[in-house]
A and B are shown apart, each in its own frame.
Chain A
Amino acid sequence: KQEVTQIPAALSVPEGENLVLNCSFTDSAIYNLQWFRQDPGKGLTSLLLIQSSQREQTSGRLNASLDKSSGRSTLYIAASQPGDSATYLCAVNPQGGSEKLVFGKGTKLTVNP
């Protein structure tokens, strides 16, 4: 059974700092991995999607890496801003799982001005 773990559960940093969020999954048989952002009381916004054949994806100040063999992904946020404060969710799309995503519980990020 696929399980996704995100560490840390919460993170507080000063504005301008670079930071890394971690995601691990137990079964490397995945199609892809996706990072989402969730603001309080809101829906999910897709940030980056990494296919299983890829090693990383970049969008602006965000960079996500994928090491499928070790079951790990990281989300790197450069020069953090208060507007980055949100919960970041990692989700994998397991092979043979009819495309349902398996989510971690998220990392709640607070960027202090």
Chain B
Amino acid sequence: NAGVMQNPRHLVRRRGQEARLRCSPMKGHSHVYWYRQLPEEGLKFMVYLQKENIIDESGMPKERFSAEFPKEGPSILRIQQVVRGDSAAYFCASSPRQTRQGASNGYTFGSGTRLTVV
């Protein structure tokens, strides 16, 4: 039972290029979350998705960033026209179906994708 799989582990992009980060949740997990960790900062929530639905994107920058979780395949975080400030570690997490109270039973995180913009 593989954990949350993220790829690539490291990604280097030149300013203005596009970055695509992929996340495959744990088997049986239907909720996916993306977080960003800037240098010397804590993890910040970006977006919460279920299959084919964006549930909460309140942490996503308004421009250049988008996320999807299609019916088949991994979740994708896409950053268009990257800038130096996008350099960070991007983590994906998954959790099982939430309880009726709305609380998850805890997250499982992937190892992250470290994006460097040069």
Instruction: Spell out A's residues near B (CB within 8 Å).
Output: 4, 31-32, 34, 36, 41-46, 49, 51-52, 89, 91, 93, 95-96, 98-106
Contacts and interface: CB of A to CB of B under 8 A. Distances in A.
A31 to B, nearest CB: 3
Interface of B: 6, 31, 33, 35, 40-45, 48, 55-56, 58-59, 91, 93, 95, 98, 101-112, 114
Contact of A36 (B56, B103, B109, B114): B109
Contacts of A100: 33, 45, 48, 56, 58-59
Nearest to A4: B42
24 contacts: A4-B42, A31-B103, A31-B104, A32-B103, A34-B107, A41-B114, A43-B112, A49-B106, A52-B103, A89-B43, A95-B102, A98-B48, A99-B31, A99-B33, A99-B48, A99-B98, A99-B102, A100-B33, A100-B59, A101-B45, A102-B45, A103-B35, A103-B43, A106-B42
A41 B113 CA distance: 10
Nearest to B56: A98
4 smallest beta-carbon distances between A and B, as pairs = A31-B103, A43-B111, A44-B109, A98-B56
Nearest to A32: B103
A4 B41 CA distance: 12
B42 A99 contact: no
A95 B99 CA distance: 13
B111 A42 contact: yes
